[in-house]
A and B are shown apart, each in its own frame.
Chain A
Amino acid sequence: MAGGGGGGDGEPEFQIAPMIDVLLVLLIFFMSITTTQVARVLQDITLPVAPNAAKKGDARDESVLNIQWDPATRVAKFVFDERTGEKPDEFVDTLTRRHRLEPKHRLVIRADRTVPAKHVSAAMAAAAKAGISDVTFAASPR
């Protein structure tokens, strides 16, 4: 690591203040990024298993729609950007806006493995209404 400052004839000394500055900036940066990433996906959803699915690529312009399923009440809940709705159509406006900004915007559907197919179909229909044709299903590799 490079030493900072130092006089003309003395031994250069390590400057702690800029070092801590940089570390704190890095910490805040990673905290905000990671929190955003974690907030987009609900951890309590049990994804279906698909060993032949492709590995998730690097960060692309995408939205994540989570579909939770409560087998006791048989009610599906759609969670999108920390907003919860009973139908995916509630998020069409946001999706349309994002699609206009970036035509290659894609929708990642993260649905619980036991959710009935009609709810996933409704999510795909919402993507179609927003003009998004690139739809991806999230799956667990094992």
Chain B
Amino acid sequence: MARSRKSRRSSDENSDVGFQIAPMIDVVFVVLVFFMSLTSAIKLEHELNTKLPGTAVTADTVEFPDEQVIGVNPDGQLLLNDDPIPVADGADLVQLLNSMTRIKANADAAKTRVLVTIASDPEAPYYRTIDVLNVLAAASIDNVTFTVSDEL
């Protein structure tokens, strides 16, 4: 307080503007409130990466990997190599995860790569594809391709 009085006196005498704490706090609070309101609007998002197929080098020997096909029906039903996989609402696709983990372990033991093709019906819900990608991420399988029969 004493410093403030001294500062005011000094500014009166020298026409020099001293430090005003009130406008500074105003600005800082505006910034704070602005970012607080924006933070609530921003949702945390994760990501599942994939690489689209590019041009193959034909001079190299092509090794055919062990391919697994996971089908997604319009009603969300999953098929692993045409065998239905039980899917309950809210379940974590445990059976598919166990199967894919086993396939991955076998492929690693045989020193081959697992290729998973997700064959979705055009009308299949997108979240089921993400469920499958989520399982593949848990099983450490990153060699994934997609097929959808219809085009827009």
Which of the residues A34, A118, A122, A138 comes within 8 Å of B47, measured between beta carbons?
A: A138
State whether A108 and B46 are in contact (beta carbons under 8 Å apart), knowing that A27-B27, A135-B52 are contacts in the complex: no
Q: State the majority secondary structure of interface residues on A.
A: mixed
> Is there contact, CB below 8 Å, between B150 and A118?
yes
The 10 listed contacts between A and B (C-beta, < 8 Å) are: A15-B19, A34-B38, A43-B41, A49-B127, A50-B46, A57-B47, A87-B152, A117-B121, A137-B50, A138-B45
Q: Encode contact with B along A122-136: 1 for CB under 8 Å, 0 otherwise.
A: 101101100011111
Query: Is the beta-carbon distance between B137 and A52 smaller than 8 angstroms?
Result: yes
Given the known A-B contacts A13-B19, A16-B24, A50-B137, are A114 and B126 also in contact in the complex, defined by CB atoms under 8 Å? yes
Is B61 an interface residue, CB under 8 A from the partner? no
A56 within 8 A of B: yes
User: Chain B contacts of A51 at CB under 8 A?
Assistant: 134
- In the assembled complex, the Cα of A31 lies from the Cα of B30 at a distance in Å of 12
Q: Which of A15, A111, A118, A135 contacts B152 (CB 8 A)?
A: A118
Residue A32 at the B interface, CB < 8 A?
A: no
A136 and B123 within 8 A (CB): no
The docked-state distance in angstroms from the alpha carbon of A132 to that of B148 is 19
Chain A residues packing against B (C-beta within 8 Å): 13-17, 19-20, 23-24, 26-27, 30-31, 34, 37-38, 41, 43, 47-57, 87, 108, 110-122, 124-125, 127-128, 132-141
Per-position contact with A for B1-20: 1 when CB-CB < 8 Å, else 0?
Answer: 00000010010000011111
**Cα(A124)–Cα(B144), bound, Å:** 14
On whether the beta carbons of B130 and A50 are closer than 8 Å, the reply is yes
Q: Is the CB of A140 within 8 A of B124?
A: no
Give the chain B neighbours of A141 by CB distance below 8 A: 44-46
Determine whether the beta carbon of B23 is less than 8 Å from that of A20: yes
- Flag if A111 contacts B138 (CB, 8 Å): no
With a cutoff of 8 Å between Cβ atoms, the chain B residues found around residue A20 in the complex are 23-24, 27
Partner of A43, one of B28, B43, B121, B122: B43
Say yes or no: is B49 at the interface (Cβ < 8 Å to chain A): yes
In the complex, the answer to whether A115 meets B126 with C-beta atoms within 8 Å is yes
Q: Once the chains bind, are A140 and B148 in contact (CB under 8 Å)?
A: no
Knowing A38-B42, A121-B146, A124-B146, the reply to whether A27 touches B31 (Cβ < 8 A) is yes
B67 an interface residue at 8 Å Cβ cutoff? no
B49 touches A113 (CB 8 A): no
Q: Is B151 an interface residue (CB 8 A)?
A: yes
